[in-house]
Amino acid sequence: MIEQSRGTQLDSKVFEQRGYNKDIMPKNSEQRNSTAFNFFTLWMGAVHNIPNYTAVGGFLLLGLSPLQVMIALVLSSFFIATLLVANGYAGSKFGIPFAMHLRHTYGDIGAKLPGILRGVIAGIAWFGLQTYAGSQALLILINKVIPGFSEIGGGGTFLGITLPGFIAFIIFWVINFAIGFGGGDTLNKFTAILNPLIYIVFGGMTIWGIYTAGGFGNIVNYELSSNSGLLYPSLLAFFLIFNSLLGVWAGPGSSVADFTQNAKSTKSQIIGQTAGIFVAQTLFAVASVSIIIGGSIYIGHQEWNILTIINQWDNFWAVLVALGVLLLTTISTNATSNIIPAAYQLSALFPKFVNYKTGVIIACVVSVLIMPWKMMENEDSIFVFLNMIGAILGPVTGVMIIHFFIVSKCKINIDELYFDVKAKQKAIPKVNLPAYVATIVGVIICLLGFLPGFSVISDFSWFIGFLTSGLLYWLLKSVRRTERDA
C-alpha cells in the first residue's frame, strides 16, 4: 500500500509501472517547497496583463463611477481568493495535481470531459487570446523601431489578420512557447526578475495618469460615457464585474492544485494566496482606472484600450519600457494560467503518449489554429469571451468544491485514487454520474445565455454555473445516499 502523508517518501517507480508519468504523481514532503511568500508573489504580476486592462476599459462603460469600478475590483479579491484557496485545498493537503483532483471528483473516465473543458478548451483559448493581446503591444513597439513596418502587405489581411499583425503574433508566440516549454523552473526565474519591474513601471504609469488628470480627485470624478447595451443597476453591475473577473480566474481557479500541490502546508497556500490576491487586486484597481482615465484625458476622449493610450505617447523610451513590461507580464500570465495547465492536462489525458513538453507543443500549435485575434475585436468581445469561459468552468469548479468539502469531507485515499485499490470505501468509479449530470446541466444552462433573449444568463455565467451545478450535485448525492440508507 502506498501511503500519502507528510514525511512519507513515495516510490516513483511504482507509479511509473502503472502508467503514470512524473508530472501527475503525488508530491512527497521533500518536493513541497512553496512557502506563503511564494504564493503571495505567484499571482502578483498576473493581474497586470493586456486583457485585464482591456476588461477594466469595458467595466468603465457599465454606468458605474470610476470609484465604484475601483471598489468592485477590490471586492472581487474576496471571490477570487476564496476560489483559489478552496479549490487548492486538496492539492496542498495531499500533494495531488489538478488532473488527479478531477479524477477524485469525476471518476477515472469521467475526468476526461472536465479536463478537456479546462486544459484543452479554456486553457488553449486563453493562451491564444493572451498571445494575440501581447502581439498587439509588440506590433506597436516594432512600428516605433521600424517605421513603415505596419504598411507591409499593403493593409491586406491573412485569415482575418494583417501580415504585420501576423508576424508580430508569431514572434510573440515563439517567446511564449519557449517560456512554457521551460516549465516551472524557468517561470520562477522569470517572475523573480519581473515582479519588481511590474510595480515600478505600473506605479510610474499610475502617477502619470493621476498627474495628467490633474489629481486623483479628477480621476474618481471623471464623467464616463456608457455603452447603453451594457447598462445595469449599480448592484448588478458590481456582480457583472465580479463574474467577468471570475471568468479571468476561472482557469487557474479550477486547476490551482497544479500549484498548491507544491505547498509546504495548507496554511501557507491559504495565507499566501489570500494576501497576494487582495494586495494585487487593490493595487491593480487604482492603477488600471487611473491609467485608463488619465490616458483618456490625455488623448481627449474616453478610451478603453491601454495600448491605444500608450501608442499616443511622444516619448519613445517611455513607450518602450511600458510595452516591454506589458509583454513580460503577459508572458508570465500565459505560462502560469494557461500553457502550463493545458500541457499538464494533455499529459493526464494521454499519459503514455504525451508528457509535459509534448503537451506544450500541441497546445501552442492549436492556439494558432483557433485564430484568437477574433476574440478581441472590440470592448464587447472581451466580455463575450470571459462569459464563455465562466460558462464552461463555473460548473466544473462548483462540482469539485462540493465533492471535496461535503461529499468526501476533505478526505482522499491515494491508493484508491492512483491504483484503484479497494479499501474501506468504494474505489474510484469509472464515471461519477451525479457529478457528470450536474456539470453538463450547468454548462447547458449557462450556454443558453448566448442565445437571443437570454443574455442575462451569459452576463452572470460563472455564478450561475457554479451554483447550479454545485447545488444540483449536492442534491443528487443526497438523494442517492437516502436511497441506499432506505
Q: Which residues are 167's β-sheet partners?
A: none
- Could you tell me if 372 and 132 are in contact, meaning their C-beta atoms sit under 8 angstroms apart? yes
Q: What is the mean pLDDT of the chain?
A: 84
What's the gap between Cα 133 and its chain centre? Answer: 15
| Over residues 369-379, mean pLDDT | 75
| Over residues 26-33, mean pLDDT | 84
DSSP letters for 49-65: SHHHHHHHHHHTTSS--
Q: Which of 438, 423, 424, 430 is nearest to 480 (CA)?
A: 438
pLDDT of residue 113: 85
The Cα 275–Cα 256 span in angstroms is 16
The yes-or-no verdict on residue 260 having pLDDT over 80 is: yes
| Over residues 417-427, mean pLDDT | 61
The reported pTM is: 0.84
Read off the pLDDT of residues 58-73 as tens digits, 9 standing for 90 and up: 888 888 899 999 999 9
| Over residues 294-319, mean pLDDT | 90
| Over residues 357-382, mean pLDDT | 81
pLDDT of residue 226: 65
Q: Which residues in 325-363 are b (16+ Cβ under 10 Å) and which e?
A: bbbbbbbbbbbbbbbbbbbbbbbbbebeebbbeebbebb
Q: Where are the alpha helices (DSSP H) in 300-413?
A: 306-311, 316-333, 340-349, 356-369, 381-402
pLDDT of residue 18: 55
Read off the pLDDT of residues 217-230 as tens digits, 9 standing for 90 and up: 999 999 887 654 54
pLDDT category, 6, cuts 50, 70, 90?
A: very low
For 276, the grid coordinates are 497576494
Of 260 and 193, the structure prediction assigns the larger pLDDT to 260
- Could you tell me if 348 and 104 are in contact, meaning their C-beta atoms sit under 8 angstroms apart? no
User: What do you get for the CA distance between the two ends of the chain, in Å?
Assistant: 34
| Over residues 5-21, mean pLDDT | 52
- Could you tell me if 345 and 119 are in contact, meaning their C-beta atoms sit under 8 angstroms apart? yes
Lowest mean pLDDT among 81-90, 245-254, 419-428: 419-428
| Over residues 318-345, mean pLDDT | 83
pLDDT of residue 67: 94
